[in-house]
Amino acid sequence: MIEIFIVTMQNNAFKYWFRQTMTEHSINITAMRREYTQSGLRRADLTEEPMDLFERWLNQACAALLPDATAMSASTVDTRGQPFQRLVLLKNFDRQSMLFYTNLHSRKATHLSNNPRISLHFPWNALERQVLVLGRAEQLSVVNVLKYFNSRPRDSQICAWVSRQSSLISSRSALESQFLELKQKFIQNDVPLPSFWGGYRVTIDAMEFWQGREHRLHDRFIYRREGSGWKTDRLAP
């Protein structure tokens, strides 16, 4: 099925269809649509643990060479209840949780310090799939963060020092000159972990798996925690 996607993307018929949706000056998005036919999701396909199904889908997304297959949209809310989203990279997971790394003074971190509820979303639409995660985020221990920080390329480590993420800055050149300055400063030593850089473990409360089907009769299943296990239900698409 994944191969079908790749062939379809390279297929001239697809390119022709895409051209047909273009008008002289703009893309006619109203006319843009396609049928979802690559796969299906039956109750028999569900694993006991949702993360086992997630892992299977993630492996397929990587095998299909989707760009940034581990990128997930992370949604948080501010104190007024205004939701914000941004992409972050999934860096690890186990059966209970998912991990990502970020700046602890960033907007998302400020939101999470007031309200740890978070939603993650994997938009694997090239495979006619999406996965939604609901959970609670808690900050990772320094030991945990340090291990990951030390595995990053040196320039990324320096960038963690340079970028006071989400704060206002005067210009790009200010950012670049600070980068060069810090590169020089740390030239003899390992780059230390900034106290304002860290990560979050999202403990999963619910997960929803969506697989596109023909005629918009898609498959959707939600896993919700029930005792020590999971309750699974099919949802209308």
Ligand X SMILES: Cc1cc2nc3c(=O)[nH]c(=O)nc-3n(C[C@H](O)[C@H](O)[C@H](O)COP(=O)(O)O)c2cc1C
- 216 in active site: yes
Judged by CB under 6 A, the residue of 99, 108, 112, 149 near ligand X is 108
Q: Binding pattern to ligand X, positions 146-175, x when CB under 6 A?
A: -------------------xx---------
Tell me which residues in 40-99 interact with ligand X (CB under 6 A).
68, 71, 84, 86-89
Residue 63 CB, nearest approach to ligand X (Å): 19
- Let me know the angle formed at the C-alpha of 231 by 136 and 111, rounded to the nearest 5 degrees: 15
Binding-site residue total for ligand X (CB under 6 A)?
A: 16
Binding residues: 33-36, 86-91, 101-102, 107-108, 130, 148, 152, 156, 165-166, 210, 216-218, 220
In the complex, the smallest distance separating the C-beta of residue 77 from ligand X, rounded to whole angstroms, is 12
* Sign, CA torsion 217/223/226/229: positive
Helix (H, G, I), strand (E, B) or coil at 40: coil
From the CB of 64, what's the least distance to ligand X, in Å? 17
CA–CA distance, 63 with 68 (Å, rounded to integer): 12
Active site residue: 216, 224, 225, 234, which one? 216
Query: Contact between 39 and ligand X (CB under 6 A)?
Result: no
Reduce the secondary structure of 4-52 to three states and give it as a string.
HHHHHHHCHHHHHHHHHCECCCCECHHHCCCCCCCCCCCHHHCCCCHHH
The CA–CA distances, whole Å, from 198 to 39, 90, 187 equal: 38, 14, 23
- DSSP assignment letter at 105: T
The DSSP letter of residue 190 is P
The residues that are catalytic are: 216
Tell me which residues touch ligand X (CB under 6 A). Answer: 68, 71, 84, 86-89, 100-103, 106-108, 165-166
